[in-house]
Structure 1
């Protein structure tokens, strides 16, 4: 699923922090973290890259991993029982996977990289470790993800992005 990280591609948690701070999207992740908080969170995240066309997640798969987008764009698409397709595009500074993370249910849509992407993943186990060791950071992240999910669910066109 994940592309090998090229030697020329570097990852630094500050890149993700800047993407989140500068995200103009209404459903962007809004975390109130200081630089030391980002450094702590970075120890629990796993960076990886996707090339254009690679699938990040598939509808129906039981996986609760969260994905934070540092750069690039991804398309989220869902086909209902009447073959109607719903689609959303998400980009840098946003998060994907909050629906399955909170609900413990299978993915509701398929997500594919539209362009080359730099992402960071957070598994439920790593989140639990974060919550046990740095509860205020985990709480702030939970509140921010809940706000993203609420905004997406409220906006009919963005609902498909709740994966």
Structure 2
């Protein structure tokens, strides 16, 4: 699932911080980290580029990685037990994968890049390491992701985005 990093594509955790702080979406990630905290968090995040059309996650897959969106747009498709498809679109300053990250359950939806994207991923193993070394950052990040998940679950069209 890892895409090769094009030579011209540059990643800087402070660009992610700006995307998060300027996001006006209803499911924006409410993180208020200092520059020092972003620097610490950045050592646990891994850059993850996606090309248009590339699949990030598939419904039913057993993967608990969470993704933070710096730039680009992703479409989320969830097929329910009655074979109805529910769709949502997510963009910069939001997060994907928080449902499986917390529940350790299979992915609830398929996510595909609708445009070129710059994402940052955080695995559960790296999060545990973050929590042991920088527990205040891990706690604030957990609360922020939980808030996003709660907002998405409360708004019917956004429920598909809980992956």
Provide the TM-score with structure 2 as the length reference: 0.98
Q: Secondary structure at the match of 1:6?
A: coil
Q: How many residues align?
A: 163
Distance 1:52 1:111 in 2: 12
Q: Secondary structure at the match of 2:87?
A: strand
How far 1:97 moved relative to its partner? Answer: 0.5
Structure 1 position 101 matched with structure 2 position 114: no
Distance 2:81 2:95 in 1: 27
Q: Partner residue of 1:11?
A: 11
Distance 1:79 1:97 in 2: 16
How far 1:79 moved relative to its partner? Answer: 1.4
Q: Partner residue of 1:136?
A: 136
Q: Which moved more, 1:7-16 or 1:77-86?
A: 77-86
How far 1:84 moved relative to its partner? Answer: 1.3
How far 1:2 moved relative to its partner? Answer: 2.8
Stretches of structure 1 that go unaligned for 5 or more consecutive residues are none
Describe the superposition over 1:79-119 as per-residue Cα deviations: whole angstroms up to 9, x where unpaired. 12322110000000000000001111000000000000000
Q: How does 1:14-163 map to 2 (within 5 A)?
A: 14-163=14-163
Provide the TM-score with structure 1 as the length reference: 0.98
Stretches of structure 2 that go unaligned for 5 or more consecutive residues are none
How far 1:71 moved relative to its partner? Answer: 0.1
| Deviation >4 Å, runs of 4+ | none
Distance 2:35 2:17 in 1: 9
Distance 1:161 1:10 in 2: 27
